Amino acid sequence: MRNGRDGPRSGRGEDRRLGGGSAESLRQALRRIDGRGYPAYRDLRGAYGFPGYVLVVDHVQGDPFAAPSRMRVRVPAREAGFPGELRRRGSREIALRDFLTRRFGDACRRLARGERGSGKGGLIAIDRPGQEVLERTSVLVAENGEVEARFVMGLPAFGRSVAARDAQAMLFDELPRIVEASLLFRSLDAEALRRHVETTEDADFLRAGLRARGLVAFVAEGAVLPRASGIDPRPLRSGRVVPFRSPTAFRVEVELPNRGRLAGMGIPGGVTLIVGGGYHGKSTLLRALQDGVYDHVPGDGRELVVTDPTAVKIRAEDGRRVEQVDISPFISNLPFGRDTTAFSTEDASGSTSQAANIIEALEVGTRLLLIDEDTSATNFMIRDRRMQELVAKELEPITPFVDKVSQLHAERGVSTILVIGGSGDYLDVADRVICMVEYAPVDVGAEARAVAERHRTVRRAEGGARFGEIASRAPVAASFDASRGRYETRISARGLQSIDFGTHRIDLGAVEQLVDPSQTRAVGDALRHATRHMDGRRTIGEVVALVLEDVAARGLDVLSDRPVGDRAAFRPFELAAAMNRLRTIEVRKPS
């Protein structure tokens, strides 16, 4: 339905197949099951024509404490009334759907009376987006303008018996008011909707245009980068907030479709260092850049902070599993001659995990690495002259990143933005140096060169002449076995940071660019979907690309066997990250 290529799926035919009929028949069914055992609610499955929309009851919960029942409403185009220019395919459609999800959620909180009886009774809720504007399955808009919202309802009970009068109030009083308040163009704040759609379109335009300008990131003048707190992603408002000011050396101007001319800091490709004293805003800038692969809502402060869509935040992640990754560009001659062109471990160290994270990102086609010293392994990042002398190269398997970062750009076109306040050795390899001074970026390239001249590094380069080729890996479908007990496949996301896959748990705690639990759920679905593309020859990068192609062609619904409203779009990198962190994954050398 997302692209409406096969027409809206609101055909009356399907609704009839589901059973049901008029709203009146739903009312009668409710009357009939009043006071009966909870499973009698199952009779409600079906589609019902209400004034102005069709209600579809897809799944009825088994008891009052189970996950709430899944429903949809479909509002025909003429009733919904969204003008064509607000639902143009691509950025605008996604922003419109995001906006409607937010308004539907607001209306639920305002108009649903909430808790009734036992369990989840009384709940009416829809997926709840955060600061990002992501494609979601919560609201769909068909090519012809029909709107579908997918939500959940906790069907009310007294003890374990059907509370039909309460259910009637929810279905015949609250839900119609929620739909009326949130899914019709005439009820909405048209100005806010326009801003939402135009902001998203501008950000996508800006991001898509980076490469042609030779840039890997752009931070708009006046952007607000700091967040309210480490656990609250809304903009910082209290105290003194310093809006972003671009240094003249990196100031560029762009022309956006809606906003027109805009100035900001453009970061070109190559090796960029962000230096500066502790607490001067280095990590905050990098964080904004890593989140710049996503669009943000108006008022977020980072609406026009955008990064190359393939940017991957790299960090150390000791304890993770690694399966036959070619980390030889960074690590070679391990004790006892262990192979590092197909390096496996159940318990990676800080440096080997960081090396594997980089190689795995390269496998999926990243063009920009983002690295913060705060979350890096020191011995992976630097190795100074004194250490070189004390521990001979023959006894040190690690070639530090400082010796590889320029080769990555020269040979593979992969840029790096690096926060480093602690080691001047990087000055020799930097294409530019930005110093954060009281939250303001300053171009210190010339000083950095002068300092590097004055204090010549006495360390020896260890990187060799080339970055080196990396062996590709083909995942084995059979190693993605999600069976558990009586379930053929059992995959369920547990919040943002982990997925239960069969009897194993995938830990995504270090995958920082996974930002929404609905993305995690979709990645879980995609793991199952991906196995159909694994033929023992296709590489991880190819398999992941095929999954994303399926999603692009047929929407996120392609990943699940039933309509679900709590899935959001994810990137190839996060899907690959989940695959790579599955403790059972096995790979082969392709061909």
Contact residues: ligand ADP, CB under 6 A: 225-226, 236, 241-242, 276, 278-284, 436, 439
Of 43 and 372, CB closest to ligand ADP? 372
Of 214 and 243, CB closest to ligand ADP? 243
State the CB neighbour count (10 A cutoff) for residue 530.
Answer: 25
Of 374 and 428, CB closest to Mg ion? 374
Which residue number places its CB atom closest to Mg ion?
Answer: 283
Distance CA 305, CA 36 (A): 56
Going by C-alpha positions, the residue among 188, 196, 180, 252 that lies closest to residue 221 is 252
- State residue 489 phi and psi, 5-degree precision: -135, 135
Q: How far is the CB of 283 from ligand ADP (least distance, A)?
A: 3
The alpha-carbon radius of gyration of the chain (Å, integer) is 27
Going by C-alpha positions, the residue among 278, 221, 280 that lies closest to residue 247 is 221
**Residues with Cβ < 8 Å from 28, sequence gap 6 or more?**
none
Q: How far is the CB of 176 from ligand ADP (least distance, A)?
A: 44
Indicate which of ligand ADP, Mg ion, none lies near residue 451 (CB less than 5 to 8 Å, by partner kind): none
Return the H-helix or E-strand segment holding 78: helix 77-80
Of 98 and 372, CB closest to ligand ADP? 372
Q: How far is the CB of 374 from Mg ion (least distance, A)?
A: 4
Query: Could you say which DSSP state residue 174 is in?
Result: I
Q: How far is the CB of 230 from Mg ion (least distance, A)?
A: 12
Q: How far is the CB of 129 from ligand ADP (least distance, A)?
A: 23
Q: How far is the CB of 373 from Mg ion (least distance, A)?
A: 7
Q: How far is the CB of 100 from ligand ADP (least distance, A)?
A: 32
Indicate which of Mg ion, ligand ADP, none lies near residue 226 (CB less than 5 to 8 Å, by partner kind): ligand ADP
Q: How far is the CB of 309 from Mg ion (least distance, A)?
A: 25
Q: How far is the CB of 350 from ligand ADP (least distance, A)?
A: 19
Of 438 and 469, CB closest to ligand ADP? 438
Residue 497 buriedness (CB in 10 A; 0-12 / 13-18 / 19+): middle
How big is the chain, counted in residues? 591
Distance CA 310, CA 573 (A): 8
Residue 180 buriedness (CB in 10 A; 0-12 / 13-18 / 19+): middle
How is residue 173 written in tokens?
């009083």
Q: How far is the CB of 416 from ligand ADP (least distance, A)?
A: 17
Indicate which of Mg ion, ligand ADP, none lies near residue 279 (CB less than 5 to 8 Å, by partner kind): ligand ADP
Of 283 and 539, CB closest to Mg ion? 283
**Residues with Cβ < 8 Å from 406, sequence gap 6 or more?**
271, 429
Beta bridge partners of 74: 54, 148
**Residues with Cβ < 8 Å from 247, sequence gap 6 or more?**
265, 434, 441, 442, 443
Of 50 and 439, CB closest to ligand ADP? 439
Indicate which of ligand ADP, Mg ion, none lies near residue 276 (CB less than 5 to 8 Å, by partner kind): ligand ADP
Distance CA 526, CA 544 (A): 9
State the CB neighbour count (10 A cutoff) for residue 357.
Answer: 27
Q: How far is the CB of 240 from ligand ADP (least distance, A)?
A: 6
Indicate which of Mg ion, ligand ADP, none lies near residue 478 (CB less than 5 to 8 Å, by partner kind): none
How is residue 358 written in tokens?
């980089």
Of 230 and 260, CB closest to ligand ADP? 230
**Rounded-to-5 percentages of helix, strand, coil across the chain:** 35, 25, 40
* Interaction site with Mg ion (CB under 5 A): 283, 374
Distance CA 494, CA 156 (A): 26
How is residue 426 written in tokens?
């990087």
Positive or negative, the CA dihedral 462, 463, 465, 470 is positive
Of 73 and 224, CB closest to ligand ADP? 224
Beta bridge partners of 47: 20, 56
Indicate which of ligand ADP, Mg ion, none lies near residue 171 (CB less than 5 to 8 Å, by partner kind): none
Q: How far apart are the first and last CA of the chain?
A: 38
Of 369 and 587, CB closest to ligand ADP? 369
Of 150 and 313, CB closest to ligand ADP? 313
Indicate which of ligand ADP, Mg ion, none lies near residue 475 (CB less than 5 to 8 Å, by partner kind): none
Query: Could you say which DSSP state residue 157 is in?
Result: E
